[in-house]
A and B are shown apart, each in its own frame.
Chain A
Amino acid sequence: MEFADALLVSIVTASTPLLLAAIGELVVERSGVLNLGVEGMMIMGAVCAFATSLTTGNPYLGILAGIAGGAVMALLFAFLTLGLVANQYATGLALSLLGLGFSGMIGEHYVGTPGVKLPTLDIPVLSDIPVIGDAIFNQDILFYMTIALVFGVSWFLFKSRTGLILRSVGENHNSAHALGYNVNRVRLYAVLFGGVCSGLSGSYLSLVYTNLWIENMTAGRGWIALALVVFASWLPWRTIAGAYLFGAVLILQFHAQGAGWEVPSQLLSALPYLATIVALVFISRNRTVARVNTPSCLGQSFVPDR
């Protein structure tokens, strides 16, 4: 029983940052923008959250700083791709490289310093449920926020009028423009939301998951989150399944190493990346299913005619 408890808690902890970043990117992509800079926004969120919580001693201020870090990066991306119609692929890459470089510079003084841990909020009674109690009802605020976000985004995209506008902008920006919607403004808000989510995800990594600052600590999680959006075929609910699947793979490697399997540790560490490739092949193989939910204008810039 003890082991199942701990296993579940660790899987939830590994999955939450993936889920956070993926749900943010899902909204961005639904608006027709492909932001490949998730990794960069995430790591900036991580370093800002870590540095702020360490200097102020308050992890909640750290979260705010993490959000700000992700949002500023997202604004940069928006300025280039929406304002200056720069290529979204290249700009996203630039964002990732910039974030990795910049965070390394900011975080240099914090390497090896233990951080401030985000406290868990125990929900009485419910957290006493065996096995799942600890994993679901004795978590920190970011976990609860993540679950609320998935609910919220799902409702927003498919039940609210604004969500419908956002999706129409992603499906056909010319029609949305003709109907009088400001395409690039909608996209700006979507990109900002993505930045906030990635910032939160980074905060989770440095305040909960490792509680340390390590250079390049995102280790490709931003890219895995991007893959998750494809895996979920742009449907919010499916990101949960995807994120927990990947979280389980991430955790498997630690437990397999602990259990003394005769497998090189590097192979186990490569598992999440290999799993991502396999998952992408699996989901993209059936082209019709994969394309039904793909926003038609994904990755295309919009310049209104004058």
Chain B
Amino acid sequence: MRLEMQKRGAPSQVMSLMSPVLAIILTLITGAIMFGLLGFNPGKALYVYFVEPLLDPWSLQELVVKASPLILIAVGLTICYRSNNWNIGAEGQFTMGAIFGSVLPIMFPDFQNYAVFPIMLAMGAIGGGLFAYIPALLKNRFATNEILTSLMLTYVALLFLDFLVRGPWKDPDGYNFPESRLFNDYALTPSLFEGGRMHIGAVFAVVAAILVFVLFIRTLKGFEIKVIGETPRAGNFAGFSKEKMTVFAFVVSGALTGLAGILEVAGPIGQLRPTISPGYGFTAIIVAFLGRLNPIGAIFAGLLLALSYLGGEAAQVDLGISEKTAKAFQGILLFYVLACDTLIHYRIRIVWRNKLRAKEVA
């Protein structure tokens, strides 16, 4: 038995839309089997995981709170991945954005007015963008592999944050806890509703998605991304600079990721801590692919992955299923997404050896 791949004449429109759906269905089936093997009622577990969080207004808000950073990061990653720049260091850029953005409220806590928050956002974007510029620069100057450098820098950024909150930025009145001082009111991310958890990060995420979508379909830069990503040689003949594109993709994606970082720290957290992200930077890679590298798709994908975080927490509380299953789920989902994407470009037939002969005769 073997698989035979037949290239389609043109990419299948139907499959472009259906492949993520198919991937989600397959993930749910795998999840049901997994829960069954772990000794839980699969139906109930899936219900708690993926339906219950949607039924209660509090967790719907929480869903948006978790989806916002994922979408913001993933939107930037679509630019990178479409142009063949493999930025996998978003977790580090998120952290650096959070650190840069926190300079003002931590080092100058007495500076309090309405300018604080916009400055923090700008600093966050600059921090993330600059940090993402390093792998781009190294790639252009020394031809180093950006996958490895961007990932290595992530570890460096996480350790730098750890150093700051345990050392110079530790709250002087914090009973020696490894945490920075709490941000003042002017430095906190404004909520969308009075007393709610949902904050303006959601607006940023949607606006960023729309802007990048327009960039892709309406601008020369978008065309350049497409050409360089799909046929680098043609891009070369057209006079598009691969080097400039690398810098553009990394810096824009780093800036959006840094923005997500400072919004998160100034929002749900309210201070710097040794851990500020449950792996948003890595989960966003899954979001980008599940959204088929389309910024609008990333919005839906981001909501779904946020649901898997919430479901993980709910399953832990309600059923005693380990929260760690969420990460496993996310990995399985990405696998199915990649597998199903094959159907867009290829027809797949399962060929049994003896049947092949019969067909050839016929």
Contacts and interface: CB of A to CB of B under 8 A. Distances in A.
A97 B148 contact: no
Nearest to A99: B331
Nearest to B147: A36
Contact of B145 (A84, A230, A267, A287): A230
Interface stretch (A61-69, A142-150, A234-242, A278-286): A278-286
A264 B143 contact: no
B88 A287 contact: no
A303 B5 CA distance: 8
B342 A86 contact: yes
A284 B338 contact: no
B156 interface: yes
A101 B329 contact: yes
A223 B331 contact: no
A100 B331 contact: yes
A226 B332 CA distance: 23
A100 B327 contact: yes
Contacts of B6: 306
A121 to B, nearest CB: 34
Interface string A69-101: 000000010001001111101110110011111
Most buried by A among B7, B155, B166: B155
Contacts of B326: 101
B335 A94 contact: yes
B152 A274 contact: yes
A54 B285 CA distance: 35
Interface stretch (B44-52, B98-106, B157-165): B157-165
Contact of B342 (A85, A104, A219): A85
A220 B342 contact: no
A284 B328 contact: no
Interface string A228-257: 001000000000000000000000000000
B11 interface: no
A108 interface: yes
A277 B118 CA distance: 34
Contact of A90 (B152, B156, B338): B338
A83 B153 contact: no
Given A93-B88, A108-B324, A227 B330 contact: no
Nearest to A92: B147
Contacts of A89: 86, 147
A105 interface: yes
A102 B331 contact: yes
B193 interface: no
B285 A97 contact: yes
Interface of A, helix, strand, loop or mixed by DSSP: helix
B309 to A, nearest CB: 12
Given A83-B3, A85-B342, A97 B282 contact: yes
B30 to A, nearest CB: 11
Nearest to B343: A84
A284 B339 contact: no
Contacts of A270: 155-156, 159-160
Given A89-B147, A98-B334, A264 B289 contact: no
Interface string B303-335: 000000000000000000010111111111011
Contact of B144 (A84, A99, A264, A284): A284
Contact of A93 (B143, B153, B285, B348): B285
Contacts of B159: 266-267, 269-270
Contacts of B81: 90
Contacts of B342: 84-86
B286 interface: yes
A286 B213 CA distance: 38
A65 B152 CA distance: 29
A191 B334 CA distance: 20
A91 B324 contact: no
A276 interface: yes
B151 interface: yes
Interface in B127-167: 138, 142-145, 147-149, 151-153, 155-156, 159-160, 162-163, 166-167
Given A36-B147, A273-B152, A267 B331 contact: no
Contacts of B167: 264
Nearest to B6: A306
Given A102-B328, A266-B162, A281-B138, A97 B338 contact: no
A290 interface: yes
Contacts of B327: 97, 100-102, 104-105
Contacts of A94: 286, 331, 334-335, 338
B171 interface: no
A238 B334 CA distance: 35
Given A86-B341, A97-B282, A303 B7 contact: yes
Nearest to A89: B86
B346 interface: yes
Contacts of A223: 148, 151-152
A80 B335 CA distance: 8
Contacts of B338: 80, 84, 86-87, 90-91, 94
Contacts of A80: 335, 338-339
B156 A280 contact: no
A162 to B, nearest CB: 22
Interface in A102-140: 102, 104-105, 108
Contacts of A227: 145, 148, 152
Interface in B54-82: 81
Q: Which 4 A-B residue pairs are closest in the complex by CB-CB distance? A: A98-B331, A101-B327, A266-B163, A101-B328
Given A105-B322, A223-B152, 13 more contacts: A36-B147, A86-B338, A86-B341, A91-B335, A93-B334, A101-B324, A108-B322, A264-B167, A266-B160, A266-B166, A276-B148, A280-B142, A280-B144
20 contacts: A80-B338, A84-B5, A85-B342, A86-B339, A94-B286, A97-B286, A101-B327, A104-B324, A108-B324, A230-B145, A264-B163, A267-B159, A270-B155, A277-B148, A277-B149, A280-B142, A280-B145, A285-B143, A290-B143, A306-B4
